[in-house]
Amino acid sequence: MTATTDGSTGAVTPRAASATDTSDTTPGAAGAPEAAKRAVERSTEFLLSRQDPQGWWKGDLETNVTMDAEDLLLRQFLGIRDEPTTRAAALFIRGEQRDDGTWATFYGGPGELSATIEAYVALRLAGDAPDEPHMARASAWIRERGGIAEARVFTRIWLALFGWWKWDDLPELPPELLYFPKWFPLNIYDFGCWARQTIVPLTVVSAKRPVRPAPFPLDELHRDPAVPNPPKPLAAVASWDGVFQRLDKALHVYHKIAPRALRKAAMNSAARWIIERQENDGCWGGIQPPAVYSVIALHLLGYDLDHPVLKAGIESLDRFAVWREDGARMIEACQSPVWDTCLATIALADAGVPADHPQLVQAADWMLGEQIVRPGDWSVRKPHLTPGGWAFEFHNDNYPDIDDTAEVVLALRRVAHPDRRRMDSAIARGVHWNLGMQSRNGAWAAFDVDNTSPLPNKLPFCDFGEVIDPPSADVTAHVVEMLAYEGKSHDPRTRRGIEWLLAEQEANGAWFGRWGVNYVYGTGSVLPALVAAGLPAAHAAIRRAVAWLESVQNDDGGWGEDLRSYRDERWIGHGASTASQTAWALLALLAAGERDSKAVERGVTWLTESQREDGSWDEPYFTGTGFPWDFSINYHLYRQVFPLTALGRYVHGEPSVGGPGKGS
Q: Are 252 and 172 in contact (CB under 8 A)?
A: yes
| Selected catalytic residue, list 401, 403, 404, 562 | 403
Q: Are 313 and 283 in contact (CB under 8 A)?
A: yes
- How far apart are alpha carbons 312 and 198 in whole angstroms? 18
Non-local (6+) Cβ contacts of 277 within 8 A are: 197, 284, 285, 377, 398
- How far apart are alpha carbons 141 and 117 in whole angstroms? 10
Which 8-state DSSP code applies to residue 456? G
Beta-sheet pairing, 13-15 with 2-4: antiparallel
- How far apart are alpha carbons 132 and 151 in whole angstroms? 23
Main-chain dihedrals φ then ψ at residue 638, nearest 5 degrees: -60, -40
Residue count of the chain? 664
Crossing angle of the two packed helices 66-78 and 83-95, in degrees rounded to 10: 160
HEC string of 254-273 equals HHHHCCHHHHHHHHHHHHHH
> What is the full DSSP assignment across 172-217?
---GGGGGS-TTSTT-GGGS-HHHHHHHHHHHHHHHH---PPPSS-
- How far apart are alpha carbons 361 and 357 in whole angstroms? 6
Q: Residue 542: exposed, middle, or buried by beta-carbon count in 10 A (0-12, 13-18, 19+)?
A: buried
Which 8-state DSSP code applies to residue 371? -
- Quick one: which H or E segment has residue 330? strand 329-331
Give first-to-last CA distance, the chain, whole Å.
37
26 three-state secondary structure: coil
Beta bridge partners of 113: none
- How far apart are alpha carbons 20 and 617 in whole angstroms? 9
| Number of Cβ atoms within 10 Å of the Cβ of 457 | 15
Q: Are 202 and 297 in contact (CB under 8 A)?
A: yes
- Quick one: which H or E segment has residue 2? strand 2-4
Alpha helices in 280-401 (DSSP H): 288-300, 308-318, 337-350, 358-369
**Annotated catalytic, 463?**
no
- How far apart are alpha carbons 622 and 28 in whole angstroms? 31
Q: Are 501 and 476 in contact (CB under 8 A)?
A: yes
Q: Are 156 and 461 in contact (CB under 8 A)?
A: no
Q: List the catalytic residues.
A: 403
